[in-house]
């Protein structure tokens, strides 16, 4: 399941993020890569344990937990502290085909999560750079994702994916992972579709409609059946 969530951050919030990030010190992005990923990763990142990354990351988590579409799609149990990267044409930056580590640990908090879903929150406008497409492979082929600043894409961490070389400008983004209460991607996808259908019916018939109430009960019972809390 690949879901795009618009307007997680406003344009003003993105501008504020970029002002802070542009004034910060960046480091080699391979510092947080696994053994296989480090061989194909060529970018920069904010120091993940630094004050800037932690402060901006907390703002992202606050925005996500208040976003109904994100919560419906992810059903998050734990969200890893967001990281921040930059792909610049001047550095020939790209990230070759890879799969994310199955487990991520945060040395500052001791948090360890199973990476069910990967997230990229775009912080550069598409017209500000060439290349830099996030390419995600799944059972239905390859999907190229390049979203407006403030929008994010959510996709299974088990997917092979890559970032194509940036040939003009710079691509800036936040990236992170989460552990969902619903471990199985197909089950999570069905629950998301059911929730979307319930919201549509509620808008037309009202939340008190008997069939809508019945479907809402089925939704919660499926989560009760599948959830890991």
| 118 and 189 belong to one structural domain | no
| 206 and 151 belong to one structural domain | no
How many structural domains comprise the chain?
A: 2
| 134 and 212 belong to one structural domain | no
| 136 and 191 belong to one structural domain | no
Digit-coded pLDDT (tens) for 75-88 = 999 999 999 999 99
Question: What is the domain extent for residue 211?
Answer: 185-226
Instruction: With 0.85 as the threshold, say if the pTM is over it.
Output: yes
Domain boundary among 144, 165, 180: 180
Per-residue pLDDT of the chain (229 residues; tens, 9 = 90+): 899 999 999 999 999 999 999 999 999 987 766 666 667 989 999 999 999 999 999 999 999 999 999 999 999 999 999 999 999 999 899 999 999 999 999 999 999 999 999 999 999 999 999 999 999 998 889 999 999 999 999 999 999 999 999 999 999 999 999 999 999 999 999 999 999 999 999 999 888 899 999 999 999 999 999 999 8
| 189 and 152 belong to one structural domain | no
Give me 24's structure tokens.
């910060």
Cα distance between residue 28 and residue 42, in whole Å: 8
| 63 and 28 belong to one structural domain | yes
């Amino acid at each position: 399941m690949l879901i795009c969530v618009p307007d997680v951050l406003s344009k003003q919030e993105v501008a504020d993020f970029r002002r802070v990030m542009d004034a910060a010190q960046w480091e080699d992005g391979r510092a947080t890569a696994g053994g296989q990923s480090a061989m194909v990763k060529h970018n920069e990142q904010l120091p993940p344990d630094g004050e800037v990354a932690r402060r901006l990351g907390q703002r992202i988590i606050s925005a996500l937990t208040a976003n109904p579409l994100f919560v419906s799609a992810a059903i998050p149990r734990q969200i890893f502290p967001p990281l921040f990267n930059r792909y610049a044409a001047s550095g020939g930056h790209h990230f070759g085909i890879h799969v994310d580590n199955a487990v991520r640990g945060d040395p500052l908090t001791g948090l360890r999560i199973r990476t069910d879903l990967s997230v990229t929150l775009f912080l550069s406008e598409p017209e500000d750079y060439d290349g830099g497409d996030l390419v995600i492979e799944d059972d239905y082929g390859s999907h190229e994702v390049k979203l407006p600043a403030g929008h994010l894409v959510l996709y299974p961490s088990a997917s092979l994916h890559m970032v194509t070389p940036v040939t003009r400008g710079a691509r800036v983004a936040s990236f992170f992972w989460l552990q969902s209460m619903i471990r199985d991607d197909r089950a999570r996808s069905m629950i998301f579709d059911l929730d979307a259908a319930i919201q549509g019916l509620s808008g037309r018939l009202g939340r008190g409609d008997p069939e809508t109430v019945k479907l809402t009960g089925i939704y919660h019972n499926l989560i009760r059946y599948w959830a890991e809390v």
